[in-house]
Structure 1
Amino acid sequence: MDSMRRRCINKRLKPNPEGQDFISNLPDFIIGLILSLLPTKDAFRTSVLSKRWINLWMFITAVEIKDKEQLSRKKIRKIPFYKFVNKVLLHLESSSIQSFSLSLSQSYRHCRVDKWINDILINLRVKELYINSKQNLSISCHTLLESPSLEVLMLNMNWYSITLPTFVCLSSLTVLKFSKITVTCDPFKSQMLTLNFPVLREYLTEDCNWSNVKGVTLEVPLLEVLSIKYSRFPISKESNTVIKFCAPCLAKFYYYGLLLPDTNSLDLSIGHIAYAHIDICPFIYMGSAEQMALIACELLKKFNNNVECLTFQWPEIVAPAKLPTFRMLSCLELGYLTGEVLLNFLRNTPFLKTLVILKGIYQFDEELSNPDNVPSCFMSNLQVVNFGALNGKKHELRLAKFIMDNAKELQRVSFSAARNMHRSKFEKVKKKIISFKKSVSVAVIDFLPLHN
């Protein structure tokens, strides 16, 4: 058996009559696609295999260049790195390149980096450009803002400041992501900017600031996804820049923050939005609890009567008041809230069909079970309720019973236990919840499997 296996393997490895292996007989562009799956430095090394392979690396479609060794912290010396990048840019086949990724862990002279970007965008005409710098990289943005072929632009610049002209138009750009960037403008020109991206689908920012800019209008008629994230406190005080999104096709909005935004600075010109996710962590916000609640409500009002599904997560210490009415809202996902705030949301969502309690509820006092507190959506619309991170506490069971007793159209209710709940306790909770069904007509009760 072993000898037969060896003969089969040797037959597959036997070269063809021309003395070449199977891969070498493939067309150049096919080999280029295969080499694109390797780090560019490894693809470049295949040029020493044979005469056939000398120039095949030039047909790769995706370029990824890093100035440190793969899977190592060892940095590449600057002079060899300069020579390698220059050679790659000089010899690449421009018609095949689709994307270019440049990751820099060291500081470089801005003139060199500007030349690389100029070659990437003008000579190679790449469609996707990714630049990640761990140092304070200084580059000119003129080439970036004038590229007619650029479809995807992602910049992570370690708090680098980009100066924009008063008008920017990228006719082919579909995805734009800025991370750790301060956007500014020429102080001697107008501080009102217009960014025209006629086919942009996704706009994402993370830890970005606007400086010396009074207002910016983003003309994005096809924008579908808008994401604003603050994973850390900004290094500079947030400006009062008014940012207006002309986005009639916006479908999804995400906000995650370690602080609350100045809601007056966010202007959303939208007609309808399918999903909004707001996750606020204002532990370092320098203001009163009442101020935080007021700003949170102002943020929610931007989606008043426009949103179908809302995810809202908020620390238990603050209760948003004066909530707007969401008449189009059919799905509501809540986390970190008290029972009183939960009822406030439910009273303002008369046509709610699905309620998801993401990470438990902090309290639901017995007096809240009063029939006078039953929201109108319980009478004719609420059909599905999902309890997440259940700990089996009395107030959680009280809320479950309140919903099951009063939601007349309830079809399904599901419960998932918190990660630290023991199986024996979960079984007791299940029996207690099932006992609630005797007095109601709930169609299905689901208990999701334990995590442990």
Structure 2
Amino acid sequence: MDRRIQKHANKARMARRMAWEARHQDRISQLPDGILSHILSFLPTRDAVQTTILSKRWNNLWISIPNLDLDHNIVSSDKFGEFVDGVLSLHASSNIRKFRLCSRNSYYYGDEHLSRNSRWICDAMRHKIVELDLHIFDQNGPRRLGDLQLPVSLFTCKTLVALKVSSNCMNLAPPPSASACFPSLKSLHYRLGWPDSASMFEMLASKCPVLEDLTIDVCRIGNVYTLNFPAAELKTFRILGSLMAADKYRFSINAPKLENLVVSGQLGLSNYYFSNNAKAMVKAEIHLIHGCSGENIYRVESAPPLLEGVSGVKYLSLLTPVFSARSLPSFDNLKHLKVGLFRCSYWGYVIALLKRSPNLEDIVLDIWTWTWGKQEYVKGYRPFNPPEVVPICVSSHLRTISIINFMGYDDEFEVVKYLLQYSEVLRRLTISTRESYLFKTRRMTAEKLHKKALKFQKCSKTCEIEIIINCETDRHKNCSCHL
């Protein structure tokens, strides 16, 4: 009897041990080398190297990872150079898909810093790089602009498809003898740090024969800045800026295949001049919000060439100063429109856009609440005045309407009432807001908003009204109601 009990006890202990081992088994280390290398490629290279301390199984896995991410921010400055040298010398793979180098000169290094970076880039190019991401800065700023000479092999590399550059000391000008460079480059993101780099960039962009995606990120420029270059295969063009100080910003590109345009920054829309012969442009995002807060919100009496240049798009996101109705161009092809609204006196601006968009099907009205004050105290306030003639798109094409950050002002309700009354084919009207917005403006609760929406007359029998309210409580963060 005792032997039976002991036998069952041993079996139970064995089962518990096997269950414990199953729960604590290192399943990751049992994966194939290729999968483990792929996982490590998503880590900064320093962290990938540190996995060698886990066990012998991990000793040589990092040397075959397809991506290298070398960042001085996560390696001590005095050891960064030795670390990069070691990684490039030990890396066993003949192919590196993505190489990211984030390097910054310090007061402890002189010209050695620049020569090291050039050597690292040259070494990496031998691994048939597909994506190259460079963030290289020198403490001496513009005085060192152009001091970092890139290897000629970079401009002739046949495997490089994507290049991202951010630097205040790098010379990206192609060799004078080269009629073309970057034979396979399709994506270029260039952060301009100083005005002198403009001519360098224009020369570079004009010599990329298959460039499809171009981004210019401007952080500081002079009073007048002009770009003019051909781009036969360009499909997407972005121009971004955060600290721009130019009075005029002009860009002219010969891009017959251009489909997408993004212009974003802190300059007024009238500062931009855009010339383009593209007939295939489909989507445009114009986000220029300088002067759109407080009492500095202004109106533009004439539409600039930039707005005229995108009048043929199907998708338009417009976050800009308000234009007078007579200055807006016609958007005959426009199907989807998103508009940022500054202050509560500009509903007439929305009506003007509706009148000039005869085929519009979807509209999103994004109310920037931080620019809105109590309506009777807003300078230049004009109440909503319904047009005598209903816009064609409202009566015949408009399918969805979304109002974001609904405040509960009288004008907002009047606009909702008007759109519901005359939109014959409308399928859905969505109103999203917060309880705090409603209470602040009209002491209105979510329940009162629902009741008021029920009273609106709907021209379309198939239209649904959806009200989404952020209740701002732990239990009910978002409430929605379908009417």
Query: TM-score range with shorter-chain normalisation?
Result: 0.7 to 0.9
Shift, 1:185, TM fit: 6.5
Partner of 2:476: none
Partner of 1:231: 242
Evaluate the alpha carbon distance shift between residue 58 and residue 399 of structure 1 in structure 2; reply closer, same or farther with a 3 A threshold: same
2:402 match: secondary structure: strand
Q: Percent identity?
A: 24
Alignment of 1:40-439 (within 5 A): 40-46=45-51, 55-69=60-74, 76-78=76-78, 80-107=79-106, 109-121=113-125, 123-133=126-136, 135-136=138-139, 138-143=147-152, 144-157=154-167, 159-160=168-169, 162=171, 164-165=173-174, 168-182=180-194, 184=196, 195-208=206-219, 215-221=227-233, 223-234=234-245, 237=246, 242-248=251-257, 250-260=258-268, 265-283=273-291, 289=298, 292-294=300-302, 297-304=304-311, 306-315=312-321, 319=324, 321-337=326-342, 338-359=346-367, 368-370=385-387, 372-418=388-434, 420-421=436-437, 425-437=445-457
Shift, 1:186, TM fit: 10
Matches of 1:347 and 1:376, distance apart in 2: 7
Matches of 1:13 and 1:105, distance apart in 2: 43
Higher mean C-alpha deviation, range 109-118 or range 189-198: 189-198
1:420 match: secondary structure: helix
Evaluate the alpha carbon distance shift between residue 127 and residue 193 of structure 1 in structure 2; reply closer, same or farther with a 3 A threshold: closer
Counterpart amino acid of 1:153? L
Q: Is the 8 A contact 1:263 1:298 kept in 2?
A: no
Shift, 1:408, TM fit: 2.6
Evaluate the alpha carbon distance shift between residue 356 and residue 214 of structure 1 in structure 2; reply closer, same or farther with a 3 A threshold: closer
Matches of 1:135 and 1:451, distance apart in 2: 49
Q: Is the 8 A contact 1:155 1:179 kept in 2?
A: yes
1:43 match: secondary structure: helix
Evaluate the alpha carbon distance shift between residue 185 and residue 130 of structure 1 in structure 2; reply closer, same or farther with a 3 A threshold: closer
Matches of 2:368 and 2:197, distance apart in 1: 45
Structure 1 residues 8-55: Cα deviation after superposition (integer angstroms, max 9, x where no partner) = 3447889xxxxxx98778765454334334432243345567777654
Shift, 1:156, TM fit: 2.5
2:412 match: secondary structure: helix
Counterpart amino acid of 1:309? Y
1:216 match: secondary structure: strand
Q: Is the 8 A contact 1:384 1:412 kept in 2?
A: yes
Matches of 1:66 and 1:193, distance apart in 2: 26
Q: Is the 8 A contact 1:196 1:220 kept in 2?
A: no
Q: Is the 8 A contact 1:191 1:214 kept in 2?
A: no
Q: Is the 8 A contact 1:180 1:207 kept in 2?
A: yes
Gap runs ≥5 in structure 1: 15-20, 70-74
Structure 1 residues 246-283: Cα deviation after superposition (integer angstroms, max 9, x where no partner) = 141x3322211100367675323311222211111122
Evaluate the alpha carbon distance shift between residue 26 and residue 408 of structure 1 in structure 2; reply closer, same or farther with a 3 A threshold: closer
Matches of 1:427 and 1:245, distance apart in 2: 55
Across the aligned residues of Structure 1 and Structure 2, the Cα RMSD in angstroms comes to 3.8
Q: Is the 8 A contact 1:170 1:197 kept in 2?
A: yes
Matches of 1:63 and 1:112, distance apart in 2: 17
Counterpart amino acid of 1:344? A
Evaluate the alpha carbon distance shift between residue 98 and residue 366 of structure 1 in structure 2; reply closer, same or farther with a 3 A threshold: closer
Higher mean C-alpha deviation, range 148-157 or range 412-421: 412-421
Shift, 1:450, TM fit: 2.4
Evaluate the alpha carbon distance shift between residue 315 and residue 336 of structure 1 in structure 2; reply closer, same or farther with a 3 A threshold: farther
Matches of 1:367 and 1:33, distance apart in 2: 58
Evaluate the alpha carbon distance shift between residue 333 and residue 24 of structure 1 in structure 2; reply closer, same or farther with a 3 A threshold: closer
Evaluate the alpha carbon distance shift between residue 320 and residue 2 of structure 1 in structure 2; reply closer, same or farther with a 3 A threshold: farther
Shift, 1:437, TM fit: 2.2
Higher mean C-alpha deviation, range 41-50 or range 141-150: 41-50
1:429 match: secondary structure: helix
Counterpart amino acid of 2:156? E
Evaluate the alpha carbon distance shift between residue 435 and residue 155 of structure 1 in structure 2; reply closer, same or farther with a 3 A threshold: same
2:190 match: secondary structure: strand
Shift, 1:429, TM fit: 2.1
Q: Is the 8 A contact 1:164 1:184 kept in 2?
A: no
What is the TM-score with the length of structure 2 in the denominator?
A: 0.75
Counterpart amino acid of 1:132? H
Partner of 2:144: none
Q: Is the 8 A contact 2:65 2:93 kept in 1?
A: no
Counterpart amino acid of 2:81? Y
1:33 match: secondary structure: helix
Matches of 1:228 and 1:27, distance apart in 2: 43
Higher mean C-alpha deviation, range 42-51 or range 201-210: 42-51
